[in-house]
Structure 1
Amino acid sequence: MNLDEVRVFAAAARGGSLAEAARRLGITPMIATRRLASLEQVLGVRLMHRTTRSLSLTPEGETFLPYAQSLLETEQQARTLLSGDGDGASGLLRVSAPVAFSIKLIAPLIPSLLDDHPELKISLDMSDTMPDLVASGIDLAIRIARLKDSSLIARKLGENPRSLVAAPSYLGKHGPPRIASDLIHHQCLPLHGVSHWTFLSAGAETHVRLQSRFSSTSIEGCHAACLAGAGITLLSDWNIADDLDAGRLMRIRLEDAEPETLAIWAVYPTTKLVAPKVRVFIDRLMRALGEAAKARA
């Protein structure tokens, strides 16, 4: 596959026309047209619908675009590394991460990260569901869970201790649960589709089935309802530090069990190299996680 042809396709998709792609690349419109046609012939599909006034991606073009962008970014990173110019962290980094984690930990990193790497751009997809990394063109996903998909490469960034919490108003009305089984008699606020919480008791897992009248597709919904006094929820310690310090929430410690500790993972597809832009992001995030853990200690 000719990268000059791929470059024309990506520039046309970004600029909205082959004429604009030609202008940006410093070539004639005729050369741009020929290169796009050659790329389509190599791939065996039509990538763009073209008229004299407009251009739009075909479904095949939509599918190919993230791959094209990745190819061009990888080439640029390789050139930067071989020239010895900086650490090679350049191009667009597409990151997917849970909503609360993005707000609390990732967004605050962005200003200094971009200042330190002038050629880097970041697109943050805030989502509590795991995307298809290959189809969506995501370079890196941050997830807090037990990972199951063996087709992905995952790097553990750290532990993610969690706590049961409730607002003082709720505990004032209902009192705190003393043991894990007491949660059956309380209003619990789980994520949508979660029917039980997992705890560790004497080194073994135990599962407590929840009696809940409220759930949310995002942990932010559970957090907000908990702050309002709707019940007890299970949140990551980094997410509740400010609320505990301010007295908006209170930590509940059970006598016979403690919440299962999950891990924070950096996940990326096996079909991509771990690019410099991914490495610098992970390094900066791990530093922030370490500072957050020290602050909680």
Structure 2
Amino acid sequence: MTPTAELEIFARVVSAGSLSAAGREMGLSPAVVSKRLRKLEDRLGTRLLQRTTRQIALTEAGQGFHERVVAILAAVEEAESFVSRRSAQARGTLKISAPTSFGRMHVAPHLTAFMEAHPDLSINLALSDEFVDIVADGFDLAIRIAELPDSSLVARRLADVERLLVAAPDYLAKHGEPKSVDDLAQHLCLPPHNGELWRLEGPDGAAVSLRPDGPLSTNSSEVLREAVIAGTGIALRSTWDIGSELARGELVHVLPDWRASRHIGLHAVYPSRRFLPVKVRLFIDYLADLYGPEPYWDHPRNSEYSTAAE
């Protein structure tokens, strides 16, 4: 077995989370996988993985080694694609992380078309509202909705994210409609699932930060979505999340002169490397064409969004 093959086994074990899972993906027995890992560690003279009966974890040396192995394997894949004229084809498994609600509503419905266009590709989509460690967890890319700080990762902005204050007509009929930001203190507001402040931008660039207070707290963005539609209170929601409800009048845009920070965007994030694997590049291009520059969820009356997302 070549050194590159050993590196691939190591990377696959980290990605799969266990020797047996990696073996199934590669058509190898757990014993063979374990033997190849021991051979690699013996050759390097250091332990890369801490193994127990239930899980594996990267050692400090293994963490740094894994980051470099991912880059090496990506470069090898790119070189092979160039030589064999496979640059327009995607093969293998594409492992993606995405936020739970966005992934369900705006990634999952579009996977079939992408896989049909690339029949040699399979997709592993993991949904989570936590920011995963892309490198350590073996993801090819992550979809993130955030104002991204500087990091060792590469990010491509796929679309702007518009977030509005909204409430159900029933709520406004009972409690009235706020006329100013100060009025929000007298209303039932639904705090974000991540506990962050509401940072709002108003006319002439005015900016305020406030901590919403209301009867419901939850760690689920989807619970908050259902609560605001049911009339529980006022919430700050993205148009990708509630565009259809706004178009149908099930939600009302309140304080229309105020919006959330415009620095937050929808990004595809992937490990920093010189050679981007074909499968990653093609999928990012696919999402960019699908979402931007004017996302379909901002125009639900003119798209299939309303029916596709429900």
TM class, shorter-chain normalised?
A: 0.7 to 0.9
Separation in 2, partners of 1:98, 1:48: 29
Change (3 A) 1:134 1:8: closer
Separation in 2, partners of 1:71, 1:57: 25
Separation in 2, partners of 1:258, 1:60: 43
User: What's the CA shift for 1:271?
Assistant: 5.0
Change (3 A) 1:99 1:272: farther
Change (3 A) 1:16 1:137: closer
Q: Tell me the residue number matched to 2:108.
A: 107
State the one-letter code of the partner of 2:57: P
Change (3 A) 1:14 1:100: closer
Separation in 2, partners of 1:85, 1:234: 45
Q: Tell me the residue number matched to 2:246.
A: 244
SS at match of 1:112: helix
Asked if the contact 2:167–2:228 (Cα under 8 Å) also holds between the matched residues in 1, the reply is yes
Separation in 2, partners of 1:114, 1:264: 22
Q: Tell me the residue number matched to 1:144.
A: 145
User: What's the CA shift for 1:178?
Assistant: 1.2
What is the identity percentage for the equivalent residue pairs of Structure 1 and Structure 2? 35
Separation in 1, partners of 2:94, 2:3: 23
User: What's the CA shift for 1:107?
Assistant: 0.8
Output one character per residue of 1:225-249: Cα deviation in whole Å (capped at 9) or x when no partner.
1112110111111211221233322
Q: For 1:1-297, list aligned pairs within 5 A.
A: 2-7=3-8, 10=12, 13-14=20-21, 16=23, 21=28, 35-45=36-46, 58-60=56-58, 72=73, 75-191=76-192, 192-254=194-256, 257-261=258-262, 262-270=264-272, 273-290=275-292, 292=296, 295=299
State the one-letter code of the partner of 1:193: G
Separation in 2, partners of 1:247, 1:72: 51
SS at match of 1:223: helix
Output one character per residue of 1:188-247: Cα deviation in whole Å (capped at 9) or x when no partner.
112132233322331232223322332332321211111121101111112112212333
Asked if the contact 1:200–1:260 (Cα under 8 Å) also holds between the matched residues in 2, the reply is no
State the one-letter code of the partner of 2:131: M
Output one character per residue of 1:9-68: Cα deviation in whole Å (capped at 9) or x when no partner.
558644659x96279xxxxx99x8875543121233456899xxxx98753499688986
State the one-letter code of the partner of 2:28: A
Separation in 2, partners of 1:211, 1:57: 41
Asked if the contact 1:197–1:210 (Cα under 8 Å) also holds between the matched residues in 2, the reply is no
Which runs of 5 or more residues in structure 1 are unaligned? 24-28
Q: Tell me the residue number matched to 2:308.
A: none
Which runs of 5 or more residues in structure 2 are unaligned? 14-18, 303-310
Q: Tell me the residue number matched to 1:26.
A: none
State the one-letter code of the partner of 1:172: A
User: What's the CA shift for 1:270?
Assistant: 2.1
Separation in 2, partners of 1:21, 1:258: 53
Change (3 A) 1:154 1:286: same
Asked if the contact 2:168–2:250 (Cα under 8 Å) also holds between the matched residues in 1, the reply is yes
Asked if the contact 2:92–2:121 (Cα under 8 Å) also holds between the matched residues in 1, the reply is yes
- Considering only CA atoms, is the larger Rg found in Structure 1 or Structure 2? 1
- Quote the RMSD (CA, aligned, Å): 3.5
Asked if the contact 2:239–2:297 (Cα under 8 Å) also holds between the matched residues in 1, the reply is no
State the one-letter code of the partner of 1:59: A
SS at match of 2:224: helix
Change (3 A) 1:76 1:271: closer
Asked if the contact 1:155–1:265 (Cα under 8 Å) also holds between the matched residues in 2, the reply is yes
Asked if the contact 2:190–2:214 (Cα under 8 Å) also holds between the matched residues in 1, the reply is yes
SS at match of 2:147: coil
Separation in 2, partners of 1:42, 1:56: 26
Separation in 1, partners of 2:90, 2:113: 14
Separation in 2, partners of 1:13, 1:71: 24
